[in-house]
Structures are given as structure tokens and as C-alpha cells.
């Protein structure tokens, strides 16, 4: 999925202020529909290590399908790349509009509950890709995403999260 992260970068909060901690996690359902075939997977992101000296966070990501693990890996990211929006970021959503994108505050309901979000919509690109992202004040920020490209639709929706 290709997302324009220019606007998203405005929502990356300072780790010192947002307070991600080891054990914070988010679990998502990913649904892909292509040519009438639907594939459903579960993905979990969990902070496994925070290295303040190196300014990095290790994120364990595991993906399962039909109850079986299909992938598990740990990725190391600089603090500046980890999306962790605050309530203030969400409330400031509309001031973040940029060329090719619009942002507005919306309340949505996902499996994890009902949340105030910043809904970011990107203008379709040259091949017609439509991207919508709903960001909330939860670990990793993603409440829901929708990407449609040439007839294939992929959604990601927050099932649950843990903040320590």
C-alpha cells in the first residue's frame, strides 16, 4: 500500500511526550478483496525494546491467517518514525491539510471501540489509488486504513490495543 506520509509525519509525537512503553501493542484485522477473493489476516504490532541511547524502538510484528502464524519479525525504527499521536494532535487535525490531502475530525467505530479520529484522505493518484487513513490517540495511531487500487481493496482495522 502506498500512503502519502507527508501529513502523517505531522502527527508523530515526541517519544518523551507521548510515552510509548515496552508492551504497548495494537492488533488489527487486514482484509483484502481482489477479483472476488477475500483474504483475512490478523496483525499485531508490539513495542519490545526502547533504546533511549540510540533513539530507537524495536517493534515485533506478527501476522496470522486462519489462526496460524505466517510471519513474525522485529523491526527497529528511529523514534521519529514511530507514529504515536496524542489527543492534541487529533484535535489539531484540520490544520494539517496539505496539497493532495484533506484532514478532518471524525468519530468512527471499529472493533476496539468508538474513537475521535483524524480522517486523512488522499487525492487519487495517476493509477486511481484511493487512500483513507483514520488516526487516533492509540499506540501506533492507526484506527483504520482503506486503500483501493485497480479493483483491489485492502482495509486495516484496529481490533484492540494495550497502553502501559
C-beta of residue 143 within 8 angstroms of C-beta of residue 136: yes
Residues 16-54 have pLDDT tens digits of: 345 789 999 999 999 999 988 999 999 999 999 999 999
DSSP sequence for 9-71: GGG---HHHH---TT-EEEEEEEEEETTEEEEEEEEEEEEEEETTTTEEEEEEEEEETTEEEE
Contacts of 83 (CB under 8 A, 6+ apart): 8, 11, 12, 135, 140, 141, 142
Query: Is pLDDT larger for residue 117 or for residue 5?
Result: 117
Nearest residue to 141 via CA among 78, 91, 84, 59: 84
In whole angstroms, how far apart are CA 98 and each of 9, 105, 152? 12, 15, 26
C-beta of residue 105 within 8 angstroms of C-beta of residue 88: no
Give the chain's domain count.
1
User: What CATH number does the domain containing 80 carry?
Assistant: 2.40.360.20
Q: The domain containing residue 156 runs over which residues?
A: 5-162
**Least confident among 10-14, 53-57, 70-74:** 10-14
pTM: 0.83
Amino acid at each position: 500500500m502506498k500512503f502519502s506520509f507527508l501529513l502523517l509525519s505531522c502527527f508523530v509525537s515526541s517519544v518523551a511526550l507521548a510515552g510509548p512503553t515496552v508492551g504497548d501493542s495494537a492488533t488489527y484485522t487486514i482484509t483484502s478483496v481482489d477479483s472476488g477473493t477475500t483474504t483475512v489476516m490478523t496483525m499485531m504490532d508490539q513495542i519490545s525494546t526502547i533504546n533511549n541511547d540510540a533513539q530507537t524502538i524495536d517493534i515485533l510484528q506478527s501476522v496470522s491467517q486462519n489462526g496460524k502464524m505466517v510471519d513474525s519479525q522485529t523491526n527497529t525504527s528511529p523514534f521519529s518514525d514511530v507514529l504515536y499521536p496524542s489527543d492534541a494532535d487529533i484535535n489539531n487535525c484540520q490544520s494539517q491539510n496539505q496539497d493532495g490531502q484533506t484532514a478532518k475530525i471524525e468519530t468512527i467505530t471499529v472493533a476496539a471501540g468508538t474513537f475521535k479520529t483524524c480522517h486523512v484522505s488522499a487525492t487519487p493518484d495517476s493509477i486511481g489509488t484511493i487512500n483513507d487513513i483514520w488516526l487516533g490517540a492509540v499506540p501506533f495511531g492507526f484506527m483504520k486504513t482503506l486503500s483501493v487500487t485497480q479493483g483491489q481493496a485492502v482495509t486495516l482495522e484496529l481490533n484492540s490495543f494495550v497502553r502501559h
